[in-house]
Every structure is written in C-alpha cells, then in structure tokens.
A and B are shown apart, each in its own frame.
Chain A
Amino acid sequence: MSFKKIQEQANLEWEQFTRSKPLRVLIGSATCGRAAGSMEVMQAFEDELNKRSLTAQTGVHEVGCLGMCYAEVLVELTGADGRRVLYEGVGPGFVPTLVESHLVEGNPLLDKAMAVMEGEDLEGVAHFSQLPNIQHQVRVVMRNCGVIDPARVNHYIARGGYSGMHRALSMTPDQVVSEMTASGLRGRGGAGFPTGVKWGFARKSPGDVKYVICNADEGDPGAFMDRSVLEGDPHAVLEGLLIAGYAIGASQGYVYCRAEYPLAIERLEEAIEQMREKGFLGERVMDSSFSFDIKIKKGAGAFVCGEETSLMQSIEGKRGMPRSRPPFPAVSGLFGRPTNINNVETLASVSAIMEKGAQWYQGFGTEKSRGTKTFALAGKINRTGLIEVPMGIPLRTIIEDIGGGVPGGKKFKAVQTGGPSGGCVPAQFMDLPVDYEHLAEVGSIMGSGGMIVIDEESCMVDVARYFLTFTENESCGKCVPCRMGTQHLLKTLTDITEGCATPEQIGTMRKVGDSMKKASLCGLGQTAPNPVLTTLRYFEDEYRAHMEDRKCPAGVCRALITFHIDPDTCTGCMACASACPVDAISGEKKKTHHIDQDLCIRCGSCRQACKFNAVVVN
C-alpha cells in the first residue's frame, strides 16, 4: 500500500474518532492518570453509559498525558453540541453527575470544568490555549500527548505521523543528516550535543553493520518526560529512531527502556507490531530499499545504565559499567560497531522536524539552543506536571505563570535543574533564560529536564544530601573519584545536617567535588558533585550556620533545631498539644503553651498544627 493510501485510511479513522459518534469521553490514562485512578473512572463511565443505554452513541477512549499531573484524572467530554470540555480531578463518584448533566442534558458543569478544548465559549471557563499554564507552552515533542489514542497508529498518521519518514526516504541519508544539523536540535539526554553532528559521525564511520539506540532509561529521580511521551505517543519516538537508522545507515534499532515502565513497554510493543503491519519496519521500509527492525531491551533500573557506554554493555548482556571514550560509540559502540544513541525526546523531536522541516523548528528557541524542551515540574510548586516550552523562556515564566508559584504563599528559594547531575539555580536568577548556555553559566545543567522547586522551608544542605544519597547509591563503583567522592560528600553532608562537621570541611568538599568533576570516568561522577558545589556557591551561609552556629536556618535538620511557642501569638487553642506524639507540650486552654525540650523529638507536628504560626523554629 502506498503511503498516501495509508494516510487516507488513517484520516478516516481519525475522523471517526473525532466525529463519528455524537458523544465522546477521553480519559487521561498515562501512568500519572492511572495512579490517580483513571481505570476506575473509565469503569464508572462504562457502567453509567451502559445504565443509560448510551454506549452506542458514545466513544470512550484512553489518551496520554496532557502534562497536568496535578489535575488528574483529566476527562474530556464532547456533548451533542460538539463542544469539547476538559474536567479536572474527576473521581468515579462524580461520573454519574457528569454524564447526566453534560452528556445527557447538554449542560457542562462549570465549576468542575477546567477549559474548553474546542467549540463555543463557556461562561467563566477559559479556552485551553488561554490557560495560564498552557499559554506559554509550545508542544512539539508532546504534540499528540493527551490528544490521540496512543494505541492507534492511524491517529498518529492522521496527525502527520510518518510523513517525516516518508520525506526522509525521498532524500539521501546525507541530506537527512544535513537537515538535522540545520534544525539546530541538540540531544535532550543531558549533554546537549548537536544531533545532526552526532549522526554525521556515525554515518561517516566505516562499517557495514551499524546500530541506532533509543535511550529510554530515564533514571533521574523526579523525571518522567520520556515516560509520558512513550506512553502518550510511542510512534513519535519510533519514527525518530527509524529516521536515525536511515540517516546513519543502520538496519537494527534498539529501544532500551527501564523495566519500571511497564505501560511504556506495552505501548512500544504494540506500536512496533503496528509499524510492521503498515510496512514501516522489516524489509523494504515504505517500499524503499531501506530495511530496518527494532528490538526492545529492558533495563534493570540502574541509573548508570542510562549512560551510553554502560547502556550498550547492558544490551550486550554484561554488567552495565561505563567505559572511557574515545573510542566513541559512533566509531565503536554496540558489539564494537558504529552506533548512534539518542534520547526519547530527541527522537520525538526528530520525527517532528522531518515532518515540518528544519526551518520550522528553528523558529523556536534561541540561536544556540533551538526548539522546545520538556520539563518535569515538581517539588514546592502549585502545578506539578509536565510542560514543554521554547528554549530561552525566562525561569520566572516557568515557575510563576506555568507552575503557578510556590504553594502556601511561601517564598521561592531555588530550583534544582538536571536532577542529581544538575545544580540549584537560586531565586536571584529568576529572569535567567532557560537554555543550555545560561544554565551552565550559573553552574547547573539542563540535564534531562527535571525541575525541582525549593521553597524557603527547605534546607539546601538537606537538598544536596538527598541528591548525593542517590548518586552514592547509583555510582557503578568502577572509578575511584566517583565511588569514593560520593561517599565522602554524602558523609560530610550527613555530618553537617547532624551538627557534627567543622567549617574546614567546606574546603574538603570543594576539593573532592573538583576532583570528581575533573577525574571521573563518566557523566555520573563528573556531575554528581554539582548539587553540593552549587548549593555551596549560593548558600554557603546556610552551610556555615549548620557548622558554626549549629543551626539549620530553614528549620529542617532535626539535630539542630528547637521548637518554641511564641507567647504573643499563641491563642491557647491546644491544637499543638494534641498533635504532639510524645506529649511534650503543656498548657491550659486559652493560655500560652510550652514545649518541653527534653521530651520534644523535633518532628514538627506542632508547627504544622498551629493555625496562628505561633510555633517558631530556632
């Protein structure tokens, strides 16, 4: 079948999906949705529709993640008027009301509605694209997430999918490489190496057997961009891999996906099957002379297996342990053959770029950092979730407009970008354009796109300790600076939080961190000291307070704090006394309460319980 025919068929199916039935229910069922209970919601809809004999008129579909994880379960309803309305926080109990009001009576529930996706305005409900958190976003990688049914290849095709590959086949591989170089796309796996240039190396490298690999190991704690894309739009990634294979002259591709992503793996397996059926895989892809196949390899969850050389060892069945480069994978990679490895997000961008052209992609972002980047917003932020923004967007826009600021009116202190490999960007850089260069300038990295927001009640030493706990555990142990350095940094950080470190140790930590950066074998060790070094750079006072004054200014490190009740603000409501698990608080009703420091275990329950902020930390 010609690609044109395939597209026509796909359009038909998409048409049906969007219009064929008068009523439609779309349920966000990626891992985040499922965690919030989307499967129960789906069941509730099916039961309710059944009860009302609406099943025939209503299409019920799973879709991927829209990125607004804080608002799951998200449900989109299309009523008889064709207007599509998005509801947030839907639980199974609410389903009968929704069905009754919106689908049967045609009255959208205004107070639960989040946005109008398509169609006429609704009183007091914004259009989706006008939502403050959506307004600043540009969705390239996530173009289909939450929009299509990820299990249907035809949805993907109808929305422009595989036309990029079709176009690539009309070009020479060298032209494809040039197109990629021209687009300015840089690797989204962390290091930001220009994708086109990397392809060029692998293309030029002599050898008749070559490999391409999709790195879907996503090991950063708190990062889930890749997972969302794989779950919500697997074909976007697989098409990217196909294009990469064609460009460098590989006939075998691998997707290395962590085993902790069962849904992503299921979606990938389905998608590969569909590709085969459509003739996009196997011998003579799309009737060209190009042959290609894809295998899925499951990773066992070691962070270091995301590192490219380690990942290849793992595919080869060896212990995942990095090796020195050169030789680079482009020269000697998987099984000693020239290999190109790209991240999930990179490949999802590749398919979009081939579809719409390098010119189009260049329109987003800054000169040196083209395109868009997804981020996983987490921590002390109102709207946690997945976002995609053009490169160079000010940090403030991300934190305040998209993320909705810090909850509880607390002050924004810093944001940790790049997960355990990155660093903290303090509040003074609120207007920093978020791109590779500027993040590096302030000592952090773009990394894979984790953004953990830290507020005034978080202790920076504790934050650094959290990340070092992770890297200390995940260091593969091969090289000395990383294996020993992480242990020393963690030990010192722990000592600081426990109040048994001396100020000289700041110098030791800098020294160790510096050695790790310069002498570690792989990226893990080279970047592992970043959380320590950046917090030291911007919050040395906070460190010193722990060491010199034995105080934790943020009031987090238990060994260093005491709780007191301020007699002026205490109303004697007794809330604190009943919250205290060890009965350390005494006081009569309507009189100032008092904490017995000998009994107090510094759990902070009283502080949380007090509505008058009368519990103060010292």
Chain B
Amino acid sequence: MGTISLTIDGQGVEVQEGKTILQASREAGIVIPTICDHKDLNPYGACRMCVVEIEGVRGFPTSCTTPASDGMVVKTQSAELTTLRNRTLELMLSGHPNSCLVCVHREACEKYRPGATKAGRATRCGFCSNREECSLREMALRAGENELGLPTLYSAHNVERSDPFMDRDYNLCILCGRCWRICEKIHGKPAISIINRGKWARLGTAFHKSHVFSGCTFCGSCIDICPTGTLTDRFARWYGKPDDRNLSACTLCAEGCSLFALTKSRRLVATRMTSFQWEASLCALGRFALAQIVNAPERLIRPAVQEGEDQIPCDWDTALELAASELPRFTESLAIVVSESTTREDRFLYARLAERLGASLIVVPSSRNGVEKELQGFTADLEKGRFRAVISGGDFLSAELLKGLNFSVVIDCLPSSGARGAKVVLPAAVLSEVEGTWRNVSGEVKELPAVSLPPGQARPEWQIICQLAQKMGLEGFEFKSAREVTSLVGSDPAPRPFDGEPRRGLRQLPSRFRGHLAADWVRPLEAFGMPSTPLEEMTESSKEGFEILERREVVPNMYFIKIMAPQVAKFAKPGQFVILMARETSERSPFTLVDWNGAEGTISLIIEEVGRSSRELISLPVGARVAHVSGPLGMPLPMEKKGTVVLGGGCYGIGAIYPIARGLREAGNHVIVVIEASSSYLLFMEDELKTVSDELIIATKDGSRGTRGGVQEVFVNLVQRGVDVAMFVAVGCTFMMRMAAEATKPLGIPTLVALNPIMVDGTGMCGACRVSIEGRTRFACVDGPFFDAHGVDWDELFSRRSAYSREEIEAMPQMVDLNALIHPHGSGGGCGSSCSHR
C-alpha cells in the first residue's frame, strides 16, 4: 500500500492508504473528539462526535469511518462543527444521568466528597464509581457544556448484579458499542450485543441469559473498555482510579498469563489483560479472582505457635526460633510441600533447604480438580509414617495428619483447617506482594514485581526460608532480596501443563490456589460450578424480628419501607430515629423516622441505598423481617411555636422532614418546606409534603424543576423576598447541611441540622457518633441528632464520616446477589418515570 496526501485544517498530511481521516488527523497531531472510537476496534460511527467537513462531500461525515483519500481537503474545526458536536453531546448526555455536570455546586461538592457515594444506581457522577475515569464526563467538562437544553430521560433499567464479578447499570450506557465489539473481536462470537430497538435498545445477552451461560468467559474486556460507569468490576469499582499499573503475570495455573496489576496506594485493586487480543486474554480467575484472593479479609497476618489446643499469635522471632530448633531433628523424615504458584526464587530456596536438611521436596502443580491426586502418594507415605515432620506451603494436609506428626510448620497466606493442626504457622506474602520470576508452561520466564503491600506482618517466602535457615545455622541463605536469588535458579523445569483451557470455558478454571479451594475465598466462583466448602448456615432473616409491611423504590435508590414496630411507633416523636439491623450479623445503621402510627404499630422510613447495610435492608422483601429495630432514639425536636419556619430536605431528608413539618405546623407555625434533588426525576413525597406545609418550594441541581441549585439558594431568595424566618432546619447529606449552614450563618438565622455521623450502638456508649459543637464533644445519638448548625465542626465531621471508607468498600457484597435476582430493582421504574413528567 502506498501513501496518500491530504490536507487537514490547512496542514498537509501524508498517511498510508487505508487509514481513516481520524487516524490521519491523529498522526498529524490534530485532536477530534471521539467516544465510540477505540484504537483496538474497527470503525463504528455511533457517537457522531467525530464529524468533519470534507470539500466536495455533502453533509458531515464521521472521520472515524471515512477512509482518507488522496487530495482530500478536510476541516475538523468550524463554528458549525462545534455546534453540531455540542448538540450531539447534549443529546448523548440527555440519556445519561448528568446533574452533577451541570450542578452549580459541583466544585465544592467534589472537594468535600472526593470519593463517589456507593449507591445502588448511579443517578449522577457523584454516585458513579467511574467518575474519575469517565470519558463522557471528561468530554462534557472539556466542552464546557453546563447548560442542557434537554430534559434527562432516565430510563430506569434494573441494575444487573446477579452475575459474578460484574455490576451493570445500563442507565449509564451511551451505546457506544465498545463492549460488544471488543467481545466480538476477542472471542469471535460476542456474548453480548445490542438488544431491542429505539429507546429500549441496550446491551445484553441473547434471550437475557445470565452471563454465566451466555458464552461469556469473564475476561473483563467489556468492563475495561467501557468509557462510562455502566460496566464495572464489582470488587474494584469503589476503590477509585488506580494510581499505578505494572506488568506482571498470573501464577494461578501453568499458563502463567501476562497481566497488568493495577494498584491504588500499593493495594492491588484489579488485574487486567495487557492488550485487547485473544492471545492476551485472561480467565475469570486471572481477571477477577486474583485481586480478591490477595485482598481476602481472612488473610493470615501474624505468626502463631501452638500451645496446648490453641494457636497463640506471637512475633516472628519466637515462631522462627521454635521452628529452627525443631526442624533439624528430622532430616530424612522431613517433607517440604510447596505449590507451583510460588516464584522460582521461593521454590529454589525451598529446594536448597530440603537439600541442606536432607528432606524430601514435593511440588504441587495447579490443576482443574485433581490436586488431591497429585498428593495421593505423599499422603499415603505420611500415613505409613514415612515422614515425621512437614513444612507445608499451603492447605495440603488435614489437621489430623499434621497432628499425627512430631512437628509441622505451615507457611501460608490464608487460614485452613489443616493449619489448625500445625505447631507453627507463618503468614506469607503472595502473588502481587512478592517480587520474583516465574516460568510458565511454554518455558517463558516472566517478571513478577512486588506491587502491593502484604497484610499485617506477612513476609515473602524467600525471606521466611532464609531467616529460618539462618536461624538453623545453615549457610547459603544470606540473601537480601529475591533478585539476588534469580541468577542462581538457572534452568528450572517448566510447570506441568494445566489440564484445561481456563480462558475458553468457565468450567475449566483451576479450582485451587496453594491447596485452598479458590471458591472458598472468592465465593462468586461457585456460580461457575467450582467446588467450595459449604458455608455455615447463613443467619436467615430472623423469624422473630420486625415484619416489613411495605417496600417500594420511590425514586432510584430511595426506598420507602414500612415496618411493624409497635413499641417504637408508640413513643416516636418528630426528629427521632431508629437503628436497624437487617440480619443478626448486619451492621447497625440509623434511619430517621418519616412517619409512624401508634394505633397500627407501624413506622415508616426512607432508606437510601448507599452501601452495604442499606443494600441489605432494601433487598428484604415485603413479609420478611428486620432482625432488630431499636428506638425511638435521639432527642425529639421541640414542637414550639416560633413563627415562620423553613425546613430544608435533600436525599433521604425529604422524607425525614415530613414529621417535623407536620408537628411544627400543628404547633401553629407557618411552615415553608424546601426540597432539593439533583434532578427532577429524583424528587419524591411532594404530595405528602404539600399536605403538611404552607408552601412547598422545589430546587434541582440541574434546573430541571424549580429553582436551579439547592436548599440554600431557595433560602437566601426567601430571605431576600422579605420572609421573616424564625428558624431553619436542614436534613440531608452532610454536604447539603454544611452548605445550608454557611448560607444562614451571615444572615444570623437560627439553624438546626440533623447530624449523621457513623453510629454504632445509638445509646451514647460507643462514642462512634462523636461530634464537636462549639468546641464541645457531643454524641449525636443521645444529644442529637439536632444541633446548632453554626457551631458544628464540619471538617471534623467529614473526616470522621470517611474514616472507614476502606472498610466500607470492603464490605460491599461480592457474592452473587441472590436478592437482586429474586427482587429486581425495577420496582422503582414506575415511580422514576411518573416523577419525571410531573
């Protein structure tokens, strides 16, 4: 193929024949906005952002699909093109939640809330796990588009979370088609494609099958190529944008696929394919399970030694010294068992140790379901009493076997029943935590950098062996790093081939890691039929408990729930809250009382799905029982006559101010209720609030209804209008209350806010809900929740609220969400749409 020359924006450009105008422009350093285009995909032409003008050609062809030809004269910038692109972008955004992009408070909000809220549906950027990496958002902000002339058409698709590892929120999808195209490119026949037409068009599998049965191999490419927050890695999503990426390899089976390890603050967040090619693809284990194994909360973090029946945690020296004093006694009757998934350096040192001690070395390969078979001979030898002591680098031997020995050391990363029988347990750093090299089945040697920090006191095995050997007085173990060992390893054998093709079939995945059943630590793998140890009977939603009488998603993420709780209903007062536990094992979480009926014995709440506990609660169906309801808690708000009072509500606060409005109005006040939401389709309870207020004013951040902005803008308007406000009460998210407080402070209007710090017991004992009001420490659960807004130390509150963000992320359920299957979230669809055309 020859070269051709064309003119782009007056610049002469030479490119190879066959290139598109977009490619030619890029080569010439000319930037054209694109979304559906991707360097690894064929031209598609769906987003229409890349339009250009070509001399002699009618209309506005898309540069990504139009081949460049000799002598062509192209214009990529003109007033008309800018208008056209902005309008197309506007159309695109109108089908995607966009209120944060046009919100007047965006910058302040992002400053105070740097992390995205872990909502169920992403109804705005602030609720979207992809916020930091979103191409659409980036493009919109770059275009300076913050005035949408079109209403948002929120389609209220169900969030799909019934498949392992993936969360899919098609309400964010802009149908760029990248996902199905990459799937087709990598796998030939795509597991997903566009289904339905018109406004119902979306991505999906044929016949709405689960991904597990759709031919999907869980390579994760679709997630990685999706420019929006539609397709997400359930585990990685809430950690935010990784800050480092390193080439590494997966050592879970003999294939040893190369991968990119993505880390954030030296924590492994995800592992990905190194390029969008079949050759580079990963299996479900390599793509999704690896990071979850490394991050398993159950990881061994401290050495332990056996004392009597118990294993007592101890320091490294104690544990190593005990092992060093015992092991040399056994020589030929000592066996060392290691997994092939360890680094070459580790295995080299294990081998050297075995050799020096005269012990036997058994190397266990990875396999689909036959690790036991590999070990059969060895176990038989053990039973026959051939060995008296063992060093086991994994979950290879039962506790009985180990107990029957004279001495045993387990060097491992995860607890196991076997390890409970060991004399010494040493916590090992594994996978992305360990530096070294690895030879795969084709003989290639791959580099494994240490990119994440091991948990607690866990150490790499090479280091453990060296320290142990040195303590035994052996020579040849004076290494300062794994790198020093590498050159000594020489031509070690390649691992034995794996008995399956994990990248082609979900039923061919390696089932064990260091002898552990992978599905025990990464439960979603069970969905692929992988063996696992049955969990102890999960606490069923208790038969005792408090029955749920009503449950509906009034607007996306916002659930109205009515519960039978006569004792609470009898004593409830406006402004009080309750603490709920969905199950016996759940976290305790506070919710403000929205309504109650002492005669019926019912209470009503608005629960916003923004994390694990709320997710648990809202996924309980009508008829199920909430394990615990304690309350009413907190100091009621005094229902006194003050004159004109303004009540501001946002998010769940829209519901929470309802009883307060009712009470204050009954007390003879003139009640003005102001509610705010990001967009019109997120407003709710308007009719109810009208009945308990003298005036209802609405504000939306995107201006889709009422005043553009939030409660504070409306409030300032009211004051300017001459309304003599005696008191202002704001209930909502911390950000909203802070903004409200800042607005009323200069006006000198008494302002109360309902603080929502993290609470545990709700009785003033735990101190979790500590807040500082005018320099004094108060407990929101007993002294509050209402406090003088102008005295609150907001910065402290923000930082205390985010103190557990990492734990909160870890707590997000990773299991196949059966609740989502049984009680799909579509129930809110109707409401979302009915609200939008009010």
Interface residues of A (CB under 8 A from B): 302, 304, 319, 321, 323-324, 326-327, 472-481, 483-488, 491, 495, 500, 508, 511-512, 514-515, 518-521
Contact = CB atoms under 8 A, between A and B. Distances in A.
Nearest to A479: B46
A519 B88 contact: yes
B175 A477 contact: yes
Given A475-B198, A483-B199, A521-B46, A326 B149 contact: no
Interface in B4-46: 43-46
Contacts of B194: 319, 321, 476-478
A522 to B, nearest CB: 10
B242 interface: no
B201 interface: yes
Contacts of A520: 48
B46 A481 contact: no
A480 B91 contact: yes
Nearest to B86: A515
Given A481-B88, A511-B87, 8 more contacts: A323-B44, A324-B61, A327-B67, A477-B198, A479-B45, A487-B153, A512-B91, A519-B88
A484 B197 contact: no
Contacts of B91: 480-481, 484-485, 488, 512, 515
B419 to A, nearest CB: 53
A474 B43 contact: no
15 contacts: A321-B194, A323-B65, A324-B43, A475-B199, A477-B194, A477-B199, A479-B47, A480-B175, A483-B198, A484-B92, A487-B95, A487-B198, A488-B151, A488-B153, A515-B88
Q: Pick the most buried of B61, B62, B88, B196: most chain A CB atoms within 10 A of its CB.
A: B88
A472 B46 contact: no
Nearest to B62: A324
A512 B91 CA distance: 8
B66 interface: yes
B257 interface: no
Main secondary structure of the interface of B (DSSP, over half): loop
A480 B87 CA distance: 10
A518 B59 contact: yes
Contacts of B149: 508, 511
B94 interface: yes
A484 B47 contact: no
B199 A476 contact: no
A518 B86 CA distance: 13
Nearest to B836: A491
Contacts of A511: 87, 149
B174 interface: yes
Contacts of A521: 45-46, 48, 62
A253 B87 CA distance: 42
Interface in B43-75: 43-48, 51, 59-62, 65-67
B150 A512 contact: yes
Q: Pick the most buried of A304, A479, A486: most chain B CB atoms within 10 A of its CB.
A: A479
A176 to B, nearest CB: 29
B772 to A, nearest CB: 49
A495 B837 CA distance: 9
Contacts of A491: 151, 153
B653 interface: no
Interface in B174-227: 174-175, 177, 193-194, 196-202
Contacts of B60: 518-519
Contacts of B59: 518
B48 A479 contact: yes
Contacts of B44: 323
B177 A478 contact: yes
A302 B196 CA distance: 10
Contacts of B67: 326-327
B66 A324 contact: yes
Contact of A302 (B84, B88, B177, B197): B197
A488 B150 contact: yes
B127 to A, nearest CB: 22
A478 B153 CA distance: 17
Contacts of B199: 472, 475, 477, 483, 486-487
A518 B837 CA distance: 29
Contacts of B198: 472-475, 477, 483, 486-487
B441 to A, nearest CB: 37
B45 A480 contact: no
Contacts of B43: 324
B172 to A, nearest CB: 14
4 tightest A-B CB contacts, nearest first: A477-B201, A324-B65, A324-B45, A484-B91
B145 to A, nearest CB: 14
Contact of A484 (B61, B95, B202): B95
Contacts of A473: 197-198
Interface string B619-658: 0000000000000000000000000000000000000000
Contacts of A476: 194, 197, 201
A126 B60 CA distance: 55
Nearest to A323: B45
A613 to B, nearest CB: 36
B193 A478 contact: no
Nearest to A327: B67
Contacts of A508: 149-150
Given A473-B197, A476-B197, A477-B194, A484 B48 contact: no
B46 A478 contact: yes
A481 B67 CA distance: 22
Contacts of A478: 46, 175, 177, 194, 201
A325 B834 CA distance: 40
A480 B199 CA distance: 11
Nearest to B196: A477
A55 B440 CA distance: 87
A260 to B, nearest CB: 16
Interface in B77-111: 84, 87-88, 91-92, 94-95
A514 B62 CA distance: 17
A477 B65 CA distance: 18
A469 to B, nearest CB: 10
B94 A484 contact: yes
B45 A488 contact: no
A483 B149 CA distance: 17
Q: Pick the most buried of B45, B48, B59, B61: most chain A CB atoms within 10 A of its CB.
A: B48
Contacts of A324: 43, 45, 61-62, 65-66
A326 B150 CA distance: 32
A438 to B, nearest CB: 20
A462 B220 CA distance: 47
B46 A488 contact: no
A89 B283 CA distance: 69
A319 B181 CA distance: 13
Contacts of B47: 479-480
B89 to A, nearest CB: 9
A479 B91 CA distance: 11
A79 B770 CA distance: 106
A102 to B, nearest CB: 52
B51 A519 contact: yes
Given A326-B67, A512-B91, A483 B201 contact: yes
Contacts of B45: 323-324, 479, 521
Nearest to B67: A326
Contacts of A495: 837
A304 B153 contact: no
Contacts of A514: 87
Interface string B727-771: 000000000000000000000000000000000000000000000
B101 to A, nearest CB: 16
A518 B194 CA distance: 24
A327 B153 CA distance: 34
Contacts of A483: 95, 175, 198-199, 201
B603 to A, nearest CB: 37
Contacts of B175: 477-478, 480, 483
A465 B372 CA distance: 69
A496 to B, nearest CB: 13
